[in-house]
Structure formats: C-alpha cells, structure tokens
Structure 1
Amino acid sequence: MIPNLILPSTSFGHVITAMVTPFGVDGRLNIPLAMQLAEYLVTHGSDSLIICGTTGESPTLTLREQHQLFKAVRQAVGNQVNLLVGTGSNATAETIERTKEAAHLGADGALLVVPYYNKPPQDGLEAHFRAIAKEVPSLPLMLYNIPSRTGCSLAPETVGRLMDLTNIVSFKAASSSIEEISQLREACGERLAIYSGDDELTLPLLIVGAIGVVSVASHLAGRQINSMIKYFMAGDNTAALSIHEKLIPLFKGLFIVTNPIPVKAALELSGWFVGGPRLPLLSANKYIRESLSPILVTLRHS
C-alpha cells in the first residue's frame, strides 16, 4: 500500500479543469453558456478552473474577451473554487502585463506556459519566469511545460533554481515523461505542487509524486477523476486503478486530434452546445464524432 500523500499548502486541489471557451454560431463568446458550464464543473468534481488556457483557445481570444470571460466565470462560481488564468506568451513583457491584469481582476493564480516558437535556452527560461514572478509577487504561479507545443522543454534543474521565488507554487507537467516528476521532486522538494498535464498519465504520475491533474476529461468525468485521485491518496489502489481503466477510452478519445477539437465535440454530443473551435482549428469531422459517441454512451452507463 502506498502511504497517503499530503497536499502542499499552495496547491489548487486535485482536479483542475482546463475549461473550454464556448462560442455561439456567430463565433462570438457565449458568456451565458460559459457561466453555466463553469457552475456545472464546480459541482461535478473540479477543485479549480483554468480559463484562457490551451483548451480555452487563448491564442484566438482578444484581451477584451479574456477579461469578459474571467469576470463572467468569477460571477458564476464566486469563491467556491480557485480560478486561474492562462497568461503566458512567448514575450516576457507581454506575459508580465497579462499576469498583472489577472491579479488586478482577482484571479487566484496564473498559468504560465513555456515560451513558444523562439526556443529560449534554460538560462533564458529562468530569466523569463523570474521576471514575471518578481513583477507580480502576490499571485501564485503555475509553470506549464508542454514541449510538443512550445518547441522546448523547461528542465527540472531550472525549476529548482526558481524555488527561491515563493509565488512559483505549482507545475503542470505535459511532457509525457514520468521521469520528469521524480526529477522535479528531487530538484524542488515537496513545496512544488506537481500536476499531470495528461489525463491518461494521472494515476502513474501520482505514484511518483504528482498531486493531481490539469484535466480535459473532467468536463465529462470530473467526479470519477476526483474519486480516482482520492482513492489513491487514501491508499485504495485497487479502486483507483479500476476507475483509471474505465476512463482510458475517454482519455484516448479526447486526444485523437488536436485539443480542444474532440472535447468540444464530446460536449456537444453530451448536450453542451459550446460551438466549434476558432480557426485555424476546425470542428470535429464525422469520423471523430463517430469515434467519440460509443465512448460517451459507455461512460453514461458506467
């Protein structure tokens, strides 16, 4: 039996949903639906929400839209859960301004993706995150490593050097590497709250020291994912593994093509008409929808 893990005091809970951004048929923000979806997620297993992240299509949202979305979701969920905002970009000055604005609006944290496209070396990445943390010292920050999208990876030893900054409190690991978690714990100790950035790897990463997941699948199976993590934390590995195995088809189905194309289709098939993604992403085709339908039927009857 694996001993119970203690959550760092700076964590955002076990299940953080990276929320999709609903659009209407005209392509504009659907604010009322965003509020309804946020309320639903809070009552169905989410401990925190991230808006304007990758799943929320942040590259296609204007700053005005991001502010509108934050204010509406905050109004909908109040202080029931932590509300984080994706403020990262590949320009340090822009990221600082966006993060300052998030703090001003009342966000509980900011998600900072590794700068994309310009591929900075490790000392550049350290300087980038250090500058942001020092400019917005009151806001808890989650670093986000996803080399498949950014073109470079934030090394654990670089994160370790950032641990003198008390507002860097958590890390979203989306490199598909189990070894990364062990290296982060060695470099950073237990103060850093590490989250899986891949639903399918949540249970394996819990075993090596992660405390939860920044999830896409929690739009559809939030309660089950939350239960899986709590079973694991309580030492009931059999129950946790059973839930993990039942959810594997959903985890895989939601990433058969670029996120958030499949999750938006899955939500529509489940009665949430959140609209398709904005260009350059396209709505799910017939094949994707036909692949998701039986998975969702099984999920509803499980």
Structure 2
Amino acid sequence: MKLEGVYVAVVTPFENGKIAEKTYEEYLEKLIQSGIAGIVVCGSTGESSMITMEEHTSLFRLSKEIVNNRIQVIANAGANSTDEAVYLTKEAEKTGVDAVLSVVPYYVKPTQEGIFLHYKAIHDETDNIPLIIYNVPGRTAVDIKVETVVRLSSLERYIGIKESSSDMEKVSNLVAQTKPNFSVLSGNDGTFLPLLAVGGHGIISVIGNIMPKELVALYNSVKKGDLNTAIEINTKMLPLFQALSFEANPIPVKYALYKMGQVSSELKLPLTMLSETYQKKMDQVLKDLSLI
C-alpha cells in the first residue's frame, strides 16, 4: 500500500448522541466523488477521544462498507495506553480497513525509547495491517524525533507518518532518512504546499472536508510542476485555513459542514458549538468562497 495524495480526516455525524449513519453515507459519497485518495476515520476530527470502543469499531466497519474499495480507508486506533492501542488496532484489522493510524502516546510524556517500544508492540502484536505513525506534539505534549521514526520505518509494516509539527526542516530529514517507500504526510493544511516542496507525499486534511476538489487540484498541480496554480489555490484557501483554527478541531469544521447542509452541528461533550463571535466570521469566510 502506498500513501500519496489527499486523505480527509472525516467528522462523525451525530443525531441525538448516536452515529447518524444515513448522513454519514451521504457525506462520504460526496468526498469519494471529489477525487481524494482516502479517508481517516475516528481521528481527532472524528471526535475519537469522546466516542466509545464500540462506536470506533462500528465506524470502521461502516466506513469500509460505504467506501466499498473505491478509495482507501484508514482507521485511527491510537491510544496513550499501549495495550489499548494494540487492542483497537486488532479490532480495526478485523473490519478490513486498509491501514491504521496511531498517535504518539499522549499525556504520559514517554521517552523516545518508550515511544519506539509502544509502536513496536503494535507492530509485533498484530498481523498484516499497514501502520502509520501520527505525530501531533501540540496535542500529545511529546514530539517524536527523526531518529525514532527512522528506527520504526525499518519495521516491515510501518508505511508512513502523519507529521503535524509544521517543521519543514524535520520533514526534509524524514524524507531523506527513511526508506524510499515510506510516506511523509502533512497533518496541517497550512503547510501542505511547503511539505510537498521538500519531498513530502500528501496530506491528512481537515479543510478537505470542505474544499476537497481544490485540495486535490493543488496536489495534482504540484505533481505536474505547475507551482503557480498550486500557489493560487493555496492562497484562495488561506482564509479558511485560519477559520478552521478559530477553536479546537473539530468544532470549526463541523460548524462549517453544518452551514453547508452536510451534517448536524451536534458534538460530543466536552466539545461545544462554535461560539457566536466565530460563527459570524466563519459564515463570512464561507460566503466569500461561495460555499454557502
């Protein structure tokens, strides 16, 4: 399995606290038709920290059924407990998803050796599922080092990393020092274009929920060597990049999708609706982009 292109970290639509399956199907169909390479299910954008284990596996299975092998389905199965991450990875593998994304253990602040052993355990205690590292130091309080990623990339089933540090020097080193078939994906929409410029392979995106065709066009433009078009698209999206950071993800993106008529605005506590001040600002950004 090769990771390249645009992957969208999808939201989880709810209705009265339950997964809104019909809404989810309609929403995924629109993304599939946009030309993206795949989706990431139950990530931060999908409110993974607030949903139950049963809801995780239900979403893995449902997503795979809806997609029906038209694009790749990546399941987020990360946890700060190694035992829990191994369990959830095994459950994801049973559902037939294409790969598993696993976050650097959060809150406990492990050493680099602890991080390596955590990921090695996930690799050694599961069967055939391809594995992806997820580095997001702004949420985990720990930054996985290049040397640790290089060690992990030597393990057979680690195929890539979602790198959300926005450190392009680090990205350059990841590309240079990992094996050729190891993919480095952006975890930040605003640094997608710079990441491609230093040899990165794609993105796991939030803005892709709202402007998937534009993001795919940006990627394709870079691949064709048409940097001017890529810059034009990136510039067009800049106000939305900023708007999606008004409050913690996925609050702004779920509000935007609600305004676009795709999902309800319902979130799992402790997440709450986008504040009224930011609602007005988001509405204006969406209007300026002719999205509402």
Q: Is this a same-fold pair by TM over 0.5? A: yes
For residues 281 and 3 of structure 2, the distance between their equivalents in structure 1, rounded to whole angstroms, comes to 33
User: Does the CA contact (< 8 Å) of 2:159 and 2:183 recur in 1?
Assistant: yes
Is 1:175 the counterpart of 2:143? The answer is: no
Partner of 1:50: 40
Match of 1:66 in 2: 56
2:94 equivalent in structure 1:
104
Aligned to 1:160: 150
- Displacement of 1:252: 1.0
Structure 2 CA distance for aligned equivalents of residues 266 and 228 of structure 1 = 21
Find the counterpart in structure 2 of residue 242 from structure 1.
232
- What does 1:148-297 correspond to in 2, within 5 Å? 148-297=138-287
The percent identity for this pair of structures is 34
Selected match of 1:19 from 1, 10, 17: 10
Structure 1 residue 301, shift from structure 2 partner: 7.0
How many positions carry a matched residue from both structures? Answer: 292
1:93 paired to 2:83: yes
Deviation at 1:27, TM superposition (A): 1.9
SS at match of 1:58: coil
| Runs of 4+ deviating beyond 4 Å | none
Quote how far apart the aligned CAs of 1:192 are: 1.3
Give me the whole-angstrom Cα distance separating, in 1, the residues matched to 2:56 and 2:96. 13
For 1:31 and 1:60, the matched residues in 2 are separated by: 18
- TM-score, normalisation: structure 1: 0.94
Partner-residue secondary structure (3-state), 2:162: strand
Q: CA contact under 8 A between 1:261 and 1:276: conserved in structure 2?
A: no
- Cα–Cα, structure 1 residues 137 and 208, in superposed 2: closer, same or farther, change >3 Å? farther
- Contact residue 19 and residue 51 of structure 1 kept, 8 A: yes
Q: Which amino acid aligns with 2:210?
A: L
Mark the CA change 1:274 to 1:13 in structure 2 (over 3 Å): closer, same or farther: farther
- Contact 2:27 2:263 survives alignment (8 Å): no
Match of 1:3? none
**Equivalent position amino acid for 2:58 in 1:** Q
Q: Relative to 1, partners in 2 of residues 1:112 and 1:301: Cα closer, same or farther, differing over 3 Å? A: closer
Q: Which amino acid counterpart does residue 293 of structure 1 have in structure 2?
A: D
CA distance in 2, matches of 1:76, 1:144: 25
**In the alignment, is the contact (CA less than 8 A) between 1:45 and 1:218 conserved in 2?**
no
CA offset at residue 149 of structure 1?
0.3
Task: After superposition, give the CA deviation of every residue in 1:86-106 in whole Å (9 maximum; x if it has no partner).
Answer: 100011111111101111110
User: CA contact under 8 A between 2:115 and 2:144: conserved in structure 1?
Assistant: yes
Say whether 1:136 aligns with 2:123: no
**Alpha-carbon distance in 2 for matches of 1:285, 1:162:** 41
The AA in structure 1 aligned to 2:11 is: V
CA RMSD of aligned residues (A): 1.4
Give the letter for the 1:235 counterpart. Answer: G
Judged with a 3 Å threshold, the aligned counterparts in structure 2 of structure 1 residues 29 and 177 are, in CA distance, closer, same or farther, namely same
Q: Quote how far apart the aligned CAs of 1:77 are.
A: 1.4
Deviates more, 1:268-277 or 1:105-114: 268-277
**Residue type matched to 2:188 in 1?**
D
The answer (yes or no) to whether the contact 1:31–1:69 under 8 Å persists in 2 is no
Deviation at 1:186, TM superposition (A): 2.7
Instruction: Calculate the TM-score normalised by the size of structure 2.
Output: 0.97
SS in 1 for 2:143: coil
User: What is the correspondence of 1:27-42 to structure 2 with a 5 Å cutoff?
Assistant: 27-42=17-32
Q: Deviations over 1:216-243 (max 9, x none)?
A: 0011100000010110011000111110
- How many angstroms does 1:189 deviate by? 3.6
The residue number in structure 2 matching 1:4 is none
Instruction: Tell whether the 8 Å contact from 1:159 to 1:187 is kept in structure 2 after alignment.
Output: no
In the TM superposition, residue 191 of structure 1 has moved relative to its aligned partner by 2.1
Q: Could you report, residue by residue, the CA deviation over 1:133-181 in whole angstroms, capped at 9, with x for unpaired residues? A: 1122411111000001001011011111112212100100101211110
Q: Which amino acid in structure 1 is aligned with residue 162 of structure 2? A: K
